[in-house]
Chain A
Amino acid sequence: MKIYTGTGDKGKTSLFSGERVSKASDRIEAYGDLDELNSVLGALIAHLPSDRSDLVGELQQIQANIFVIGSWLATTPSSPVVDSLAPIEKEQIVFLENAIDRLDNLLPELKNFILPGGHIAAAWAHVARSICRRTERRTVEVLEEFDTDETTEELTKAMIYLNRLSDYLFVLARECNRLHGLSDIPWNKS
Protein backbone atom coordinates (compact mmCIF):
# COMPACT_ATOMS: atom_id res chain seq x y z
CA MET A 1 0.00 0.00 0.00
CA LYS A 2 1.40 3.37 -0.98
CA ILE A 3 1.11 5.91 1.80
CA TYR A 4 1.61 9.07 -0.18
CA THR A 5 -1.43 10.74 -1.75
CA GLY A 6 0.01 13.69 -3.66
CA THR A 7 -3.01 15.80 -2.61
CA GLY A 8 -0.82 18.16 -0.58
CA ASP A 9 1.80 18.90 -3.20
CA LYS A 10 0.63 22.48 -3.58
CA GLY A 11 0.77 23.37 0.11
CA LYS A 12 -2.78 22.54 1.15
CA THR A 13 -4.21 19.72 3.21
CA SER A 14 -7.67 18.53 4.26
CA LEU A 15 -9.08 18.88 7.73
CA PHE A 16 -11.10 16.00 9.16
CA SER A 17 -14.15 18.26 8.75
CA GLY A 18 -13.47 18.49 5.01
CA GLU A 19 -12.04 21.97 4.40
CA ARG A 20 -8.90 22.47 2.38
CA VAL A 21 -6.50 24.66 4.35
CA SER A 22 -2.94 25.90 4.06
CA LYS A 23 -0.38 23.63 5.70
CA ALA A 24 0.82 26.77 7.48
CA SER A 25 -2.54 27.39 9.21
CA ASP A 26 -2.79 27.51 13.01
CA ARG A 27 -4.61 24.23 13.30
CA ILE A 28 -2.14 22.33 11.15
CA GLU A 29 0.66 23.81 13.27
CA ALA A 30 -1.19 22.69 16.40
CA TYR A 31 -1.73 19.12 15.41
CA GLY A 32 1.74 19.01 13.91
CA ASP A 33 3.05 19.84 17.37
CA LEU A 34 0.78 17.19 18.80
CA ASP A 35 2.23 14.66 16.37
CA GLU A 36 5.74 15.70 17.41
CA LEU A 37 4.80 15.26 21.06
CA ASN A 38 3.42 11.79 20.40
CA SER A 39 6.56 10.74 18.54
CA VAL A 40 8.80 11.97 21.35
CA LEU A 41 6.66 10.03 23.85
CA GLY A 42 7.49 6.98 21.72
CA ALA A 43 11.20 7.75 22.12
CA LEU A 44 10.71 8.17 25.87
CA ILE A 45 8.89 4.82 26.11
CA ALA A 46 11.77 3.16 24.26
CA HIS A 47 14.16 4.32 27.00
CA LEU A 48 12.10 3.28 30.03
CA PRO A 49 13.38 0.38 32.15
CA SER A 50 12.13 -2.94 30.75
CA ASP A 51 10.50 -3.88 34.08
CA ARG A 52 8.28 -0.77 34.16
CA SER A 53 5.38 -1.95 32.01
CA ASP A 54 3.12 0.15 34.26
CA LEU A 55 4.76 3.37 33.06
CA VAL A 56 4.76 2.12 29.46
CA GLY A 57 1.02 1.41 29.70
CA GLU A 58 0.41 4.83 31.19
CA LEU A 59 2.29 6.57 28.39
CA GLN A 60 0.64 4.50 25.67
CA GLN A 61 -2.77 5.51 27.04
CA ILE A 62 -1.56 9.11 26.82
CA GLN A 63 -0.49 8.52 23.20
CA ALA A 64 -3.99 7.22 22.42
CA ASN A 65 -5.54 10.28 24.09
CA ILE A 66 -3.32 12.53 21.97
CA PHE A 67 -4.91 11.03 18.85
CA VAL A 68 -8.34 11.98 20.19
CA ILE A 69 -7.16 15.56 20.83
CA GLY A 70 -5.76 15.66 17.29
CA SER A 71 -9.14 14.72 15.83
CA TRP A 72 -10.75 17.71 17.60
CA LEU A 73 -8.03 20.08 16.41
CA ALA A 74 -8.71 18.88 12.86
CA THR A 75 -12.43 19.60 13.09
CA THR A 76 -14.09 22.96 12.54
CA PRO A 77 -16.78 23.92 15.09
CA SER A 78 -20.35 23.10 14.03
CA SER A 79 -19.15 20.55 11.47
CA PRO A 80 -21.46 17.52 11.16
CA VAL A 81 -18.43 15.24 11.63
CA VAL A 82 -18.36 16.27 15.31
CA ASP A 83 -20.86 13.45 15.92
CA SER A 84 -18.30 10.83 14.92
CA LEU A 85 -15.55 12.04 17.27
CA ALA A 86 -14.77 10.45 20.61
CA PRO A 87 -15.08 12.92 23.49
CA ILE A 88 -12.06 13.93 25.55
CA GLU A 89 -12.84 12.26 28.86
CA LYS A 90 -12.56 14.40 32.00
CA GLU A 91 -11.51 11.20 33.76
CA GLN A 92 -8.30 11.27 31.73
CA ILE A 93 -7.43 14.65 33.28
CA VAL A 94 -8.11 13.22 36.74
CA PHE A 95 -5.98 10.20 35.81
CA LEU A 96 -3.04 12.50 35.06
CA GLU A 97 -3.53 14.46 38.28
CA ASN A 98 -3.50 11.23 40.28
CA ALA A 99 -0.39 10.03 38.43
CA ILE A 100 1.38 13.35 39.13
CA ASP A 101 0.60 13.02 42.87
CA ARG A 102 1.69 9.35 42.90
CA LEU A 103 5.05 10.08 41.27
CA ASP A 104 5.62 13.25 43.26
CA ASN A 105 5.23 11.29 46.52
CA LEU A 106 8.14 9.06 45.46
CA LEU A 107 10.47 12.01 44.89
CA PRO A 108 12.53 14.21 47.25
CA GLU A 109 11.08 17.69 47.74
CA LEU A 110 12.25 20.15 45.14
CA LYS A 111 14.09 23.16 46.57
CA ASN A 112 15.71 24.56 43.40
CA PHE A 113 15.01 24.84 39.74
CA ILE A 114 16.55 21.84 37.99
CA LEU A 115 18.33 21.54 34.66
CA PRO A 116 16.57 19.33 32.13
CA GLY A 117 18.62 16.16 31.70
CA GLY A 118 20.18 13.29 33.57
CA HIS A 119 19.35 9.80 32.36
CA ILE A 120 18.41 9.56 28.67
CA ALA A 121 14.80 8.67 29.59
CA ALA A 122 14.62 11.79 31.79
CA ALA A 123 16.09 13.89 28.99
CA TRP A 124 13.39 12.63 26.58
CA ALA A 125 10.70 13.35 29.18
CA HIS A 126 11.93 16.95 29.38
CA VAL A 127 11.91 17.25 25.57
CA ALA A 128 8.33 15.90 25.58
CA ARG A 129 7.40 18.35 28.36
CA SER A 130 8.61 21.38 26.43
CA ILE A 131 6.86 20.24 23.21
CA CYS A 132 3.73 19.65 25.28
CA ARG A 133 3.89 23.25 26.56
CA ARG A 134 4.20 24.52 22.98
CA THR A 135 1.25 22.35 21.92
CA GLU A 136 -0.77 23.80 24.76
CA ARG A 137 0.04 27.34 23.58
CA ARG A 138 -0.95 26.45 20.00
CA THR A 139 -4.21 24.95 21.24
CA VAL A 140 -5.00 28.19 23.06
CA GLU A 141 -4.40 30.09 19.79
CA VAL A 142 -6.81 27.81 17.92
CA LEU A 143 -9.35 28.06 20.72
CA GLU A 144 -9.28 31.86 20.61
CA GLU A 145 -10.33 31.80 16.94
CA PHE A 146 -13.61 30.01 17.58
CA ASP A 147 -16.96 30.94 19.06
CA THR A 148 -18.11 28.74 21.91
CA ASP A 149 -19.73 25.45 20.94
CA GLU A 150 -19.25 21.73 21.41
CA THR A 151 -15.85 21.76 19.69
CA THR A 152 -14.49 24.56 21.87
CA GLU A 153 -15.69 22.68 24.96
CA GLU A 154 -13.61 19.72 23.84
CA LEU A 155 -10.62 21.92 22.98
CA THR A 156 -10.86 23.52 26.41
CA LYS A 157 -10.60 20.05 27.94
CA ALA A 158 -7.69 19.37 25.56
CA MET A 159 -5.93 22.51 26.78
CA ILE A 160 -6.34 21.42 30.41
CA TYR A 161 -5.21 17.89 29.55
CA LEU A 162 -2.05 19.22 27.86
CA ASN A 163 -1.36 21.46 30.84
CA ARG A 164 -1.53 18.48 33.22
CA LEU A 165 0.44 16.34 30.82
CA SER A 166 3.40 18.72 30.89
CA ASP A 167 3.37 18.59 34.70
CA TYR A 168 3.16 14.80 34.54
CA LEU A 169 6.16 14.73 32.19
CA PHE A 170 8.12 16.94 34.59
CA VAL A 171 7.65 14.56 37.52
CA LEU A 172 8.16 11.57 35.24
CA ALA A 173 11.53 13.02 34.17
CA ARG A 174 12.53 13.25 37.83
CA GLU A 175 11.24 9.72 38.45
CA CYS A 176 13.31 8.42 35.53
CA ASN A 177 16.42 9.86 37.15
CA ARG A 178 15.46 8.39 40.53
CA LEU A 179 14.86 4.94 38.99
CA HIS A 180 18.40 5.02 37.61
CA GLY A 181 19.97 6.22 40.86
CA LEU A 182 20.59 9.73 39.55
CA SER A 183 19.89 13.01 41.32
CA ASP A 184 18.28 15.97 39.62
CA ILE A 185 20.82 18.57 38.50
CA PRO A 186 20.11 21.79 40.44
CA TRP A 187 20.36 25.15 38.69
CA ASN A 188 23.44 26.87 39.98
CA LYS A 189 23.06 30.61 39.42
CA SER A 190 26.75 31.41 39.79
Chain B
Amino acid sequence: MTTAEKDYPTEIMEHRWISNKTFEIKLSRPESFNFRPGQRISLKLMNFERDYSLASSPDEPHLTLCIRYVEGGRLSHVLGDAEKGTRFSFCGPHGYFTFKSSQRPAVLVASGTGIAPFRSMVRSGIAPEFLLHGVETSAELYYAEELQPAAGNYIPCLSQSSKSQPYFEGRVTDYLRRHLPPVSYDFYLCGRREMIRDVTLLVDERFAGSFIYTETFY
Protein backbone atom coordinates (compact mmCIF):
# COMPACT_ATOMS: atom_id res chain seq x y z
CA MET B 1 0.00 0.00 0.00
CA THR B 2 1.13 3.57 -0.57
CA THR B 3 2.43 5.54 2.40
CA ALA B 4 2.03 9.24 3.12
CA GLU B 5 4.79 11.39 1.68
CA LYS B 6 7.25 12.96 4.09
CA ASP B 7 7.08 16.71 4.73
CA TYR B 8 10.37 18.55 5.13
CA PRO B 9 10.61 21.86 7.03
CA THR B 10 12.50 24.69 5.34
CA GLU B 11 13.00 28.44 5.48
CA ILE B 12 14.00 31.18 3.08
CA MET B 13 17.74 31.91 3.42
CA GLU B 14 17.97 34.40 0.57
CA HIS B 15 15.52 36.19 -1.72
CA ARG B 16 16.51 38.23 -4.77
CA TRP B 17 14.88 39.54 -7.92
CA ILE B 18 16.69 38.36 -11.05
CA SER B 19 14.47 40.29 -13.48
CA ASN B 20 11.49 42.56 -13.03
CA LYS B 21 9.15 39.54 -13.28
CA THR B 22 11.24 36.77 -11.77
CA PHE B 23 12.80 36.11 -8.38
CA GLU B 24 15.09 33.48 -6.98
CA ILE B 25 14.84 32.06 -3.47
CA LYS B 26 17.37 29.91 -1.67
CA LEU B 27 15.90 27.52 0.87
CA SER B 28 17.56 25.70 3.72
CA ARG B 29 18.11 22.08 2.77
CA PRO B 30 17.10 19.36 5.24
CA GLU B 31 19.97 16.94 5.80
CA SER B 32 18.08 13.86 4.68
CA PHE B 33 16.68 15.41 1.50
CA ASN B 34 18.17 14.24 -1.81
CA PHE B 35 17.16 14.71 -5.41
CA ARG B 36 18.37 14.32 -8.98
CA PRO B 37 18.98 17.29 -11.31
CA GLY B 38 15.74 18.11 -13.11
CA GLN B 39 13.37 17.07 -10.31
CA ARG B 40 10.74 19.20 -8.56
CA ILE B 41 9.61 19.84 -5.03
CA SER B 42 6.10 20.66 -3.87
CA LEU B 43 5.92 23.76 -1.67
CA LYS B 44 3.20 23.88 0.97
CA LEU B 45 2.25 27.32 2.14
CA MET B 46 -1.02 28.83 3.41
CA ASN B 47 -3.03 25.67 2.63
CA PHE B 48 -1.82 25.73 -0.92
CA GLU B 49 0.61 23.44 -2.68
CA ARG B 50 2.56 23.97 -5.87
CA ASP B 51 5.42 22.23 -7.65
CA TYR B 52 8.62 24.06 -8.55
CA SER B 53 11.68 22.65 -10.33
CA LEU B 54 14.91 22.92 -8.40
CA ALA B 55 17.50 25.19 -10.03
CA SER B 56 20.44 24.15 -7.84
CA SER B 57 22.55 21.02 -8.07
CA PRO B 58 22.26 18.16 -5.57
CA ASP B 59 25.81 19.00 -4.41
CA GLU B 60 24.86 22.44 -3.12
CA PRO B 61 24.03 23.12 0.54
CA HIS B 62 20.76 24.93 -0.23
CA LEU B 63 17.80 24.47 -2.59
CA THR B 64 17.29 27.17 -5.22
CA LEU B 65 14.00 27.98 -6.91
CA CYS B 66 13.48 30.35 -9.81
CA ILE B 67 9.92 31.68 -9.81
CA ARG B 68 7.98 33.97 -12.12
CA TYR B 69 5.89 36.51 -10.24
CA VAL B 70 2.31 36.15 -11.42
CA GLU B 71 0.04 39.06 -10.54
CA GLY B 72 -2.83 37.46 -8.63
CA GLY B 73 -1.01 34.10 -8.56
CA ARG B 74 -1.63 32.42 -5.21
CA LEU B 75 1.81 31.16 -4.27
CA SER B 76 4.19 33.20 -6.45
CA HIS B 77 2.55 36.31 -5.02
CA VAL B 78 3.16 35.20 -1.42
CA LEU B 79 6.69 33.98 -2.13
CA GLY B 80 7.53 37.11 -4.12
CA ASP B 81 6.79 39.25 -1.07
CA ALA B 82 8.20 36.77 1.47
CA GLU B 83 11.13 37.75 3.64
CA LYS B 84 14.25 35.91 4.70
CA GLY B 85 13.39 33.56 7.56
CA THR B 86 9.89 32.70 6.29
CA ARG B 87 9.21 29.08 7.21
CA PHE B 88 7.08 26.50 5.44
CA SER B 89 7.30 22.88 4.34
CA PHE B 90 7.76 20.93 1.15
CA CYS B 91 7.63 17.36 -0.06
CA GLY B 92 9.39 15.56 -2.87
CA PRO B 93 11.43 15.09 -4.89
CA HIS B 94 8.98 14.50 -7.74
CA GLY B 95 9.22 13.79 -11.43
CA TYR B 96 11.32 11.97 -13.99
CA PHE B 97 12.63 14.95 -15.96
CA THR B 98 16.25 13.91 -15.53
CA PHE B 99 19.09 13.75 -18.03
CA LYS B 100 19.54 10.44 -19.84
CA SER B 101 22.88 9.49 -21.41
CA SER B 102 22.58 8.77 -25.12
CA GLN B 103 24.46 8.71 -28.43
CA ARG B 104 22.17 11.45 -29.73
CA PRO B 105 23.03 15.12 -29.14
CA ALA B 106 20.99 16.73 -26.36
CA VAL B 107 18.89 19.80 -27.13
CA LEU B 108 17.55 21.52 -24.02
CA VAL B 109 14.73 23.98 -24.68
CA ALA B 110 13.27 26.24 -21.99
CA SER B 111 10.73 29.02 -21.97
CA GLY B 112 11.00 31.54 -19.12
CA THR B 113 11.56 29.97 -15.72
CA GLY B 114 11.58 26.58 -17.45
CA ILE B 115 15.32 27.14 -17.42
CA ALA B 116 15.40 26.05 -13.73
CA PRO B 117 15.86 22.26 -14.19
CA PHE B 118 18.45 22.88 -16.92
CA ARG B 119 20.44 25.11 -14.58
CA SER B 120 20.37 22.26 -12.07
CA MET B 121 21.66 19.84 -14.72
CA VAL B 122 24.39 22.21 -15.92
CA ARG B 123 25.55 22.90 -12.35
CA SER B 124 25.76 19.12 -11.92
CA GLY B 125 28.25 18.83 -14.77
CA ILE B 126 25.93 18.01 -17.68
CA ALA B 127 27.10 19.70 -20.90
CA PRO B 128 24.34 19.72 -23.54
CA GLU B 129 25.12 20.36 -27.20
CA PHE B 130 22.32 22.94 -27.41
CA LEU B 131 20.58 25.00 -24.75
CA LEU B 132 17.83 27.32 -25.98
CA HIS B 133 16.18 29.85 -23.67
CA GLY B 134 13.04 31.52 -24.98
CA VAL B 135 12.17 34.81 -23.26
CA GLU B 136 10.57 38.11 -24.21
CA THR B 137 13.56 40.42 -23.64
CA SER B 138 17.26 40.09 -22.83
CA ALA B 139 16.52 41.34 -19.29
CA GLU B 140 15.07 37.89 -18.59
CA LEU B 141 18.21 35.99 -19.55
CA TYR B 142 19.01 35.31 -15.91
CA TYR B 143 21.76 32.70 -15.53
CA ALA B 144 23.13 33.50 -19.04
CA GLU B 145 26.65 34.03 -17.69
CA GLU B 146 26.86 30.58 -16.17
CA LEU B 147 24.89 28.74 -18.88
CA GLN B 148 26.76 30.13 -21.89
CA PRO B 149 30.12 28.48 -21.14
CA ALA B 150 28.50 25.20 -20.03
CA ALA B 151 26.54 24.41 -23.20
CA GLY B 152 28.05 23.71 -26.63
CA ASN B 153 25.63 26.25 -28.04
CA TYR B 154 23.73 28.58 -25.70
CA ILE B 155 21.02 30.30 -27.72
CA PRO B 156 18.81 32.98 -26.19
CA CYS B 157 15.68 33.44 -28.30
CA LEU B 158 13.96 36.79 -27.79
CA SER B 159 10.35 37.12 -28.85
CA GLN B 160 10.50 40.94 -28.66
CA SER B 161 12.75 42.84 -31.04
CA SER B 162 16.09 43.90 -29.60
CA LYS B 163 18.18 45.59 -32.29
CA SER B 164 21.13 46.34 -30.04
CA GLN B 165 21.55 42.78 -28.76
CA PRO B 166 23.39 39.94 -30.51
CA TYR B 167 20.61 37.44 -29.84
CA PHE B 168 18.34 35.36 -32.03
CA GLU B 169 15.08 37.19 -32.62
CA GLY B 170 12.13 34.86 -32.71
CA ARG B 171 10.67 31.90 -30.88
CA VAL B 172 12.60 28.76 -30.03
CA THR B 173 10.67 26.91 -32.74
CA ASP B 174 11.88 29.47 -35.31
CA TYR B 175 15.48 28.78 -34.32
CA LEU B 176 15.05 25.00 -34.41
CA ARG B 177 13.37 25.10 -37.80
CA ARG B 178 15.93 27.42 -39.39
CA HIS B 179 19.21 26.40 -37.79
CA LEU B 180 19.17 22.93 -36.24
CA PRO B 181 20.39 20.31 -38.75
CA PRO B 182 17.61 17.75 -39.37
CA VAL B 183 19.01 14.67 -37.62
CA SER B 184 17.94 12.81 -34.45
CA TYR B 185 18.36 14.37 -31.00
CA ASP B 186 17.26 13.97 -27.42
CA PHE B 187 14.99 16.95 -26.79
CA TYR B 188 14.33 18.11 -23.25
CA LEU B 189 11.48 20.63 -23.16
CA CYS B 190 10.54 22.63 -20.08
CA GLY B 191 8.18 25.54 -19.74
CA ARG B 192 4.88 26.69 -21.16
CA ARG B 193 2.46 24.16 -22.58
CA GLU B 194 2.25 26.00 -25.91
CA MET B 195 6.03 25.89 -26.39
CA ILE B 196 6.09 22.16 -25.60
CA ARG B 197 3.28 21.48 -28.07
CA ASP B 198 4.89 23.54 -30.85
CA VAL B 199 8.35 22.00 -30.43
CA THR B 200 6.94 18.47 -30.20
CA LEU B 201 5.01 18.87 -33.44
CA LEU B 202 8.12 20.35 -35.10
CA VAL B 203 10.21 17.39 -33.91
CA ASP B 204 7.68 14.97 -35.43
CA GLU B 205 7.86 16.90 -38.70
CA ARG B 206 11.59 17.60 -38.96
CA PHE B 207 13.71 15.54 -36.57
CA ALA B 208 12.64 11.93 -37.12
CA GLY B 209 13.95 9.35 -34.66
CA SER B 210 14.37 11.93 -31.90
CA PHE B 211 13.39 11.32 -28.29
CA ILE B 212 11.40 13.88 -26.28
CA TYR B 213 11.26 14.39 -22.52
CA THR B 214 8.99 17.10 -21.19
CA GLU B 215 8.17 19.06 -18.05
CA THR B 216 5.19 21.38 -18.37
CA PHE B 217 4.82 24.53 -16.27
CA TYR B 218 1.24 25.60 -15.66
On A, residues with C-beta under 8 Å from B are 1-2, 5-7, 9-10, 12, 14, 16-20, 57, 61, 64, 79-81, 84
Contacts and interface: CB of A to CB of B under 8 A. Distances in A.
| SS of B interface (majority) | mixed
Interface of B: 1-2, 96, 98, 100-102, 186, 193, 196-197, 200-201, 203-204, 210-214, 216, 218
Contacts of B218: 1-2
6 contacts: A5-B196, A6-B201, A18-B186, A20-B212, A64-B2, A84-B98
Contacts of B212: 14, 18, 20
Nearest to A84: B96
A98 B71 CA distance: 56
Contacts of A64: 2
B201 A7 contact: yes
B197 A5 contact: yes
Contact of A10 (B98, B100, B101, B201): B201
A18 B100 contact: yes
A22 to B, nearest CB: 11
Given A14-B214, A18-B186, A6 B101 contact: no
A2 B211 CA distance: 24
Contacts of B96: 16, 81, 84
A38 B218 CA distance: 27
B4 to A, nearest CB: 15
Nearest to B189: A7
Contacts of A10: 201, 204
B137 to A, nearest CB: 26
A145 B101 CA distance: 24
